Amino acid sequence: MNPKIFEKLKTLAEAAKYDVSCASSGTTRNNPVKNLGTAAGWGICHSFTEDGRCVSLLKIMLTNHCIYDCGYCMNRRSNDIPRSTFSVSELVELTIEFYRRNYIEGLFLSSGVVRNADYTMERMVRVAKDLRLVHKYNGYIHLKSIPGASRELITEAGLYADRLSCNIEMPSEASLRIIAPDKNYQSVYRPMHYIQQGFLQSAEDKKKYRHTPRFAPAGQSTQMIIGASPDDDNRILHLANALYQRPAMKRVYYSGYIHLNTYDTRLPALPTPPLVRENRLYQADWLMRFYQFKVDEIVDEKHPNLDLEIDPKLAWALRHPENYPVNINTADYETILRVPGIGVKSANLIISSRRFGRLTSDHLKKMGVVMKRAKYFITCNELQAFTVQEAGSEYIRRALTAPPKKKKDEEQQLIIGFEYDTPRNP
């Protein structure tokens, strides 16, 4: 073993750590011929770092040398930092050995740009290809595609990777131009488009031929940095919504901006990363994907930013008291899902259980409904409660945001959730 590997791992893991998209979900890979590795459904979190983030993949850079100078990035060329490069075989060995010890679900590889986009992309593809073809590795692979990479390389990458991603980084092209002048939306959207085409083509071929090589079966994802530019939540969520309309787009990640390059005055000097806002964006994203909310219901010109004090579902409910209280024993699934305090799981339990008899608030409590919130928005034919109709939105907001009896510093450390089914990778 090359003793330099320790130094390289440290440098190149640190270089990759700010990319938040580490989910390893979305593929099912069986292992019929007794090789190494499987992937199934939701990826597994194997560890959690001290910041509470899930470690599922070996998230690492091939190199942190870079010819570009993106303002938000630690690896930009103007920074004087230790630089390293893995050889293809070093990275392959690390992945395999970590995998065999059940440390990881697979590899998430990104890279700084050396020489040009294609030169870099080509080496990344070689890592994936070696893993699959030489080592018969069947675990998860996520490759970042380099902005500006050619269609040929993206297409080849799709044959070996489960997921490809291409980060938008800035929620508007204007901001991207200012902060990352080497990039533009075209260099991001093009690879995104190639991925989408490969994905659709492979689905099409599957109908015609029995053996079609799979193309990035877990689709693609992207990431936006939050709070580095003046773009509001209305802009961010509409962009996310538009991205989700694309057939292969599986996840949009939001990453609260961390002010690393303090000398760069194009960027806001945030004292702490905007974690509450990031959390609210994930909740809004959840509402769009699993709670049948339309983006316009969450943000619009009149409410361009998410309420930081309360979660977006409660915010919607308080803006629309006329829809409540909801009768738990008769309302349809969509309506029940809109009750603050009721998540997807409890909504399903309610629907399937009420066929056997009338549900009471006692049942709801046992089914995991957060009654502290839900009680203002439901009726279950019991004694008339104190709902939003009687109490008014303002009262409920105050009741539910009354400072909890805990230490101040914990407020920054919100956990995604309440009734939201917790995403593993905030």
Residue 97 touches which of ligand SF4, other proteins, none (Cβ within 5-8 Å per kind): other proteins
SS3 content of the chain, % helix, strand, coil (to 5): 40, 10, 50
Question: Is residue 166 within 8 Å of residue 195, measured between CB atoms?
Answer: yes
Long-range pairs for 287-292 at CB < 8 Å and ≥24 separation? 287/312, 287/313, 288/237, 288/240, 288/241, 288/244, 289/244, 290/344, 290/421, 291/337, 291/338, 291/344, 292/334, 292/337
Two structure tokens written together for 307: 């309420």
Count residues contacting ligand SF4 (CB under 6 A)?
A: 9
Stretch that binds other proteins, among 157-165, 271-279, 297-305, 311-319 (CB under 8 A): 271-279
Angle (nearest 5°) at CA 237 between 235 and 239: 70
Among 41, 101, 211, 294, binds other proteins (CB under 8 A): 101
Question: Is residue 39 within 8 Å of residue 25, measured between CB atoms?
Answer: no
Among 30, 78, 245, 262, binds other proteins (CB under 8 A): 30
261 Cβ contact partners less than 8 Å away, ≥ 6 residues apart: 71, 72, 73, 74, 76, 79, 267
Whose tokens are 């599922």? That residue is: 56
Two structure tokens written together for 221: 């994802």
Contact flags string 82-121 toward ligand SF4, x per CB under 6 A: ------------------------------xx--------
Among 300, 410, 411, 421, binds other proteins (CB under 8 A): 410
Stretch that binds ligand SF4, among 70-78, 194-202, 252-260, 301-309 (CB under 6 A): 70-78
74 sits near other proteins (criterion: CB under 8 A): no
68 sits near ligand SF4 (criterion: CB under 6 A): yes
Among 134, 200, 308, 415, binds other proteins (CB under 8 A): 415
Stretch that binds other proteins, among 27-35, 112-120, 150-158, 175-183 (CB under 8 A): 27-35
Two structure tokens written together for 353: 């259980």
Residues across the chain:
426
Residue 266 touches which of other proteins, ligand SF4, none (Cβ within 5-8 Å per kind): none
Question: Considering beta carbons, is residue 69 or 122 the nearer one to ligand SF4?
Answer: 69
Going by C-alpha positions, the residue among 120, 2, 101 that lies closest to residue 63 is 120
31 sits near other proteins (criterion: CB under 8 A): yes
Question: Considering beta carbons, is residue 96 or 396 the nearer one to other proteins?
Answer: 96
Question: Considering beta carbons, is residue 176 or 299 the nearer one to ligand SF4?
Answer: 176
Question: Considering beta carbons, is residue 294 or 405 the nearer one to other proteins?
Answer: 405
Contact flags string 335-364 toward other proteins, x per CB under 8 A: --------------x--xxxxxx-x---x-
18 sits near ligand SF4 (criterion: CB under 6 A): no
Question: Is residue 58 within 8 Å of residue 105, measured between CB atoms?
Answer: no
**What number of other Cβ atoms are within 10 A of residue 191's Cβ?**
26
Question: Considering beta carbons, is residue 68 or 395 the nearer one to ligand SF4?
Answer: 68
* Positions in 46-65 near other proteins (CB under 8 A): 46-55, 58-59
Residue 59 touches which of ligand SF4, other proteins, none (Cβ within 5-8 Å per kind): other proteins
Collapsed DSSP state (helix, strand, coil) of residue 168 = coil
Full DSSP string of 63-78 = B---S---TT-TT-TT
Going by C-alpha positions, the residue among 143, 140, 155 that lies closest to residue 215 is 155
17 sits near other proteins (criterion: CB under 8 A): yes
Full DSSP string of 1-31 = --TTHHHHHHHHHHHHTT-------S--B--
188 sits near other proteins (criterion: CB under 8 A): no
403 sits near other proteins (criterion: CB under 8 A): no
Two structure tokens written together for 382: 């019991």
Stretch that binds ligand SF4, among 67-75, 96-104, 298-306, 401-409 (CB under 6 A): 67-75
Stretch that binds other proteins, among 9-17, 163-171, 192-200, 283-291 (CB under 8 A): 9-17
Amino acid in position 338:
R
- Which DSSP symbol is given to 413? G
Residue 76 touches which of ligand SF4, other proteins, none (Cβ within 5-8 Å per kind): ligand SF4
Please give the residue ranges that form the binding site for other proteins (CB under 8 A).
1, 5-6, 9-11, 13-14, 16-18, 30-31, 34-38, 44-55, 58-59, 94, 97-98, 100-103, 136, 139, 258, 272-273, 275, 349, 352-357, 359, 363, 366-367, 410, 413, 415
Please give the residue ranges that form the binding site for ligand SF4 (CB under 6 A).
66, 68-70, 73, 75-76, 112-113
